[in-house]
Amino acid sequence: MTSPASPADLYCVMGNPVAHSRSPAIHARFAELTGEHIAYERRLVPMDGFAQGVRAFAAEGGRGCNVTVPFKTEAPGLATECSERVQLAGAANTLTFLADGSIYADNTDGLGLVADITRNAGVSLAGRDVLLVGAGGAAAGVLGPLLLAGARHITVANRTLAKAQALVQSHSALAALQKAELSAQDPLALSAHFDVIINATASSLSGGGIPVPASVLRPGALAYDMMYGPAAQGFLDWARQHGAVPRDGLGMLVEQAAEAFLLWRGVRPPSAQVLREMQQSATA
């Protein structure tokens, strides 16, 4: 722990768009509750300027940054060393800038998603049939942890089927190790019913339509949108109308932030408390 009189250690979230991100508020609360002396801000970077933005932030003395859409698949290429999670996913959401100038990349998205579903929502993933919608950086970051959580069968559905097939292929060895079934499908060709549906597309953020037919929902299924707040409302309303249990990605955001905070500071913040506070303030 550093003295409050010393300069705060600087962190940020980088993305495009990024104005909606609640990460600064989450990390500020983590710091308050743990006594860590940090400053955390948003950084909007041009679509073609991610690498330059990372280098500039590191040069300013930045200690680490979270990476959000659409740069998660670009982030590993800037790292000196990547965690096993990043190597498997081909995507990173957490960069740590070390004193020797090297960059360590990790991916805490999947850990955050699984923690929110199993701990906060109280839904076991063991033996469940899961539909993962999307095959970009967000989906890639969570597929490995979903397999490790014991899902029986995971279907990856994506409009560009080849991307879903590539994601399935890159995780086939882990699926075999976990004795799980893994398949790829076009969203419009889905006919099975699922226990858990996870929307990992950017459709909510862009105001797009629901990416899958309602027939995929088993009664009482958990329908989870990795977006949160107003961006997820359309998906949540659709899920509720069709007899599913809706949940947005605020808990995932808090839990993945807690994993990043632990990585950066060596202290695990009280994520469940912060999530409750944020949920209460949203309904107040």
Annotated binding site for NADP(+): 84, 134-138, 158-163, 226, 249
- Catalytically annotated residues: 72
Contact present, 40 and 12 (Cβ < 8 Å): yes
| End-to-end CA gap in the chain | 34
Binding residues for shikimate: 21-23, 68, 93, 109, 228, 256
Binding residues: 21-23, 68, 84, 93, 109, 134-138, 158-163, 226, 228, 249, 256
Distance of CA 49 to the CA centre of its chain: 22
